């Protein structure tokens, strides 16, 4: 059987791109009896891959003779006429749009077209599968689901720098790491409001932001001044790998405030550094992380304040072993193979 995979998304610098790359590698290894060609714009750690650019994609794809094509998300060339399956991360841009009006229209058109013409739509979590059916009216027999997994994150094996982070930044109390984004669904302002409430209760907690997008957000910086917590929020952005481990390992925990997620890829760094995670109690987090993390009420700032206050001197033992064992590239590749019936 000939299988074509559009791996151009792997060239992007995102956690999801790394997930796609590892899934492709595992899928190729799992289906070594088939002829699999992977297209992308740069080299891939596979014996069979071909270079392709965006302008010639449709022309090249249509010339090939294949059993089917696998695309990630909805980057299907408009003139492509073959049979294909989509692996879809989530529907964030539909429910929490950030792009300008014209880009949202183009996005919506491409997504609708991709869904209509696909043979299967493969989701990474039950929430996305349900949204496809209930909110986008996609037939249930067209929606399939595989488990996601946490892509590898390389840490420094031999630290070259040693420092006490609290001393370095003159912190008078514990600090939390925030390394997620600044989009609407990230709901970062809720964390700022909680820090303000803690301060009003005479509890000083710091937030160190290790995220470039959030660091550069002028609206967030304005909120920090408005809430009178400017001396408790450190806008560092992404730091060097040589010192990154120090920030994570000496933190109280890593905190997230997202109200919408698919597979929680944003946990990758915290897991890599074995830091405890505090995140909202939403289906994607609960279904995947079980009791390995601590949960916050996504609707209550008072709950978030109380949970943080409670755990300042009572940290929880961190153990991600079960989640990492259950969610792996090879189990996901096997599930994908079963859906695509490559094992017949």
When pLDDT is averaged across residues 124-148 and rounded to a whole number, the result is 93
Distance CA 276, CA 294 (A): 8
What structural domains and CATH numbers belong to the chain? 2-149+328-340 (3.40.50.2000), 165-325 (3.40.50.2000)
pLDDT tens-digit map of 224-276 = 999 999 999 999 999 998 899 999 999 999 999 999 988 999 999 999 999 99
Question: Helix %, strand %, coil % for the chain, to 5?
Answer: 45, 15, 40
Please tell me whether residue 71 adopts helix, strand or coil conformation. strand
Residue 191 has pLDDT above 70, yes or no: yes
pLDDT of residue 158: 61
Distance CA 2, CA 318 (A): 44
Average pLDDT, the chain: 89
The sign of the CA dihedral 89, 95, 100, 103 is positive
The sign of the CA dihedral 122, 324, 152, 217 is positive
DSSP 75: -
pLDDT of residue 77: 80
pLDDT of residue 339: 93
Supply the angle between the helices 15-30 and 329-340 in degrees, to the nearest 10. Answer: 60
DSSP string, 249-300: HTSSEEE---S--SS-GGGHHHHHTT--EEEE--HHHHHHHTTSSEEE-TT-
pLDDT tens-digit map of 81-121 = 888 999 999 998 888 877 677 877 888 888 888 999 999 99
**pLDDT-based confidence at residue 314 (cuts at 50, 70, 90):** confident
Cα–Cα distances in angstroms (integers) from residue 10 to residues 75, 77, 90, 312, in the given order: 12, 17, 17, 39
When pLDDT is averaged across residues 135-156 and rounded to a whole number, the result is 92
| Chain mean position to CA 337 | 23
When pLDDT is averaged across residues 115-128 and rounded to a whole number, the result is 92
Cα–Cα distances in angstroms (integers) from residue 251 to residues 171, 177, 205, 218, 247, in the given order: 12, 7, 11, 25, 6
Spatial strand order of the sheet with 120-123 comes to 49-51, 35-40, 2-6, 68-72, 84-88, 120-123, 143-145
74: exposed, middle or buried (Cβ count in 10 Å: 0-12, 13-18, 19+):
middle
| Chain mean position to CA 86 | 18
pLDDT tens-digit map of 277-311 = 999 999 889 989 999 999 999 989 999 999 999 98
> Residues 287, 248: contact at Cβ < 8 Å?
no
pLDDT tens-digit map of 56-69 = 677 777 777 677 88
When pLDDT is averaged across residues 196-208 and rounded to a whole number, the result is 96
């Amino acid at each position: 059987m000939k299988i074509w995979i559009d791996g151009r998304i792997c060239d992007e610098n995102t956690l999801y791109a790394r997930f796609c790359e590892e899934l492709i590698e595992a899928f190729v290894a799992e289906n070594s009896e088939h002829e699999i060609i992977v297209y992308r714009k740069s080299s891939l750690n596979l014996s069979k891959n071909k270079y392709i650019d965006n302008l010639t994609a449709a022309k090249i794809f249509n010339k090939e003779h294949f059993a089917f094509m696998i695309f990630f998300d909805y980057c299907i060339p408009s003139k492509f006429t073959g049979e294909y399956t989509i692996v879809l991360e989530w529907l964030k841009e539909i429910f929490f749009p950030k792009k300008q009006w014209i880009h949202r229209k183009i996005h919506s058109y491409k997504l609708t077209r991709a869904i209509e013409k696909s043979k299967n739509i493969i989701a990474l979590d039950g929430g996305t599968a349900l949204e496809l059916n209930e909110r986008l009216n996609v037939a249930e027999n067209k929606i399939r689901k595989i488990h996601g997994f946490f892509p590898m994150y390389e840490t420094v094996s031999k630290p070259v720098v040693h420092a006490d982070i609290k001393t370095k930044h003159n912190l008078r109390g514990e600090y939390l790491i925030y390394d997620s984004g600044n989009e609407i669904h990230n709901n970062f302002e809720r964390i700022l409001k909680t820090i303000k409430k803690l301060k009003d209760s005479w509890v000083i907690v710091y937030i160190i932001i290790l995220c470039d997008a959030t660091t550069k957000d002028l609206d967030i910086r304005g909120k920090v001044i408005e809430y009178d917590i400017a001396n408790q929020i450190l806008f560092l952005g992404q730091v060097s790998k040589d010192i990154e481990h120090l920030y994570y390992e000496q933190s109280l925990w890593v905190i997230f405030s997202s109200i919408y997620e698919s597979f929680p890829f944003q946990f990758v760094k915290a897991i890599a550094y074995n830091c405890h995670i505090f995140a909202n109690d939403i289906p994607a987090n609960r279904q995947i992380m079980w009791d390995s993390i601590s949960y916050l009420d996504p609707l209550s700032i008072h709950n978030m304040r109380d949970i943080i206050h409670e755990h300042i001197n009572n940290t929880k033992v961190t153990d991600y072993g079960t989640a990492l064992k259950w969610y792996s590239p090879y189990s996901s590749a096997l599930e994908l193979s079963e859906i695509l019936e490559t094992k017949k």
